[in-house]
Amino acid sequence: MELDAAIDGRIWDFLSSINDADSASAVWEETIKFMRGYGASHIGAYVTTGHIDPVVLGTTPPWVWDEYLSEISPESDPATRHCRENVTPYFGGQAFDEVNPSINPKLKAYLGSLADIGIRASVMFPMHDRTNRDWGRFIFDTDLSADDFRKYFGEHGTSLHLAGIMSIERLHNLALQAGRMEARLTNRERECLLWLARGLRNDRIAERMGLRPVTVGLHISNACRKLDARTRAQALVKAIQFGMLQP
């Protein structure tokens, strides 16, 4: 595994560069550069925002994610189970198979095919939100042996951890901002949702806002449409997730 010389201090340049980057692809470019400098054979990021489509990025060929999402069920993958409930990192990959004697055969085969493209030992960094729900994962892959990787992680793990989660956080923020831009609720629409969040029904909202109930209904259904929500409850959730409301 090749390491760039003088990697100390580059973490700060990296944090600045992803903060300045104003698109997901720009953030991802910087992240790839940084992680390759730390000797990654591949990297991957998974970010959900409440959008219908999660953000899935990787330097790996498409089959890696496709096969994972279609063939490997979360319940059979200890890595996913771990990431759902913990914020601590998780080692995975074929190099660690020997620690996992009861490994699901499908998973074992999958890890075998990852090894063929230089992914033998990886670390996964989970991210959870304020309600402790997991919304993101950063994956750093190497072709090292288990022992070499453990040693390497002992030395550089913190920098990788910091860089990884800052990267997916930035991607998460950009996705949220994009969602807000797309939806662009009017003040009236936002106000109606706010009263809804406080437990009022249309007629009471109408009283508060000096409108007719049918107008309130219109504002709310417009909000639903803009937020791509099927119900007002879903619209509320999305609006809160995008930071449009402070109930």
113 near other proteins (CB under 8 A): no
The residue ranges of DSSP E strands in the chain, in sequence order, are: 42-47, 55-58, 90-92, 121-128, 134-142
CB atoms within 10 A of CB 231: 9
162 near other proteins (CB under 8 A): yes
Residue 48 main-chain phi, psi, to 5 deg? -110, 145
Q: Which residue of 36, 51, 106, 128 would you call a contact of other proteins, by CB under 8 A? A: 128
Residues paired with residue 139 on neighbouring β-strands, in sequence order: 44, 124
Nearer to other proteins, 101 or 105 (CB): 101
Nearer to other proteins, 88 or 145 (CB): 88
Note whether 170 and 21 are within 8 A (CB).
yes
**x/- binding map, residues 169-188, to other proteins, per CB under 8 A?**
---xx--xx-----------
16 near other proteins (CB under 8 A): yes
Nearer to other proteins, 9 or 105 (CB): 9
Q: Which of 45, 19, 23 is nearest to 32 (CA)?
A: 45
Q: Which of 147, 93, 81 is nearest to 117 (CA)?
A: 93
- How many alpha carbons fall within 13 Å on the CB side of residue 134? 18
135 near other proteins (CB under 8 A): no
Nearer to other proteins, 101 or 210 (CB): 101
Which 35-64 residues touch other proteins, going by CB under 8 A?
none
Q: Which residue of 86, 113, 145, 186 would you call a contact of other proteins, by CB under 8 A? A: 86
What distance in Å separates the CA atoms of residue 173 and residue 80, rounded to the nearest whole number? 23
28 near other proteins (CB under 8 A): no
Angle between helices 213-226 and 232-241 (to 10 degrees): 60
100 near other proteins (CB under 8 A): yes
90 near other proteins (CB under 8 A): yes
Provide the binding-site residues for other proteins, judged by CB under 8 A.
8-9, 11-12, 15-16, 19, 78-79, 82, 86-92, 96, 99-100, 123, 128, 130, 132, 150, 153-154, 157-159, 161-162, 165-166, 172-173, 176-177, 243, 246-247
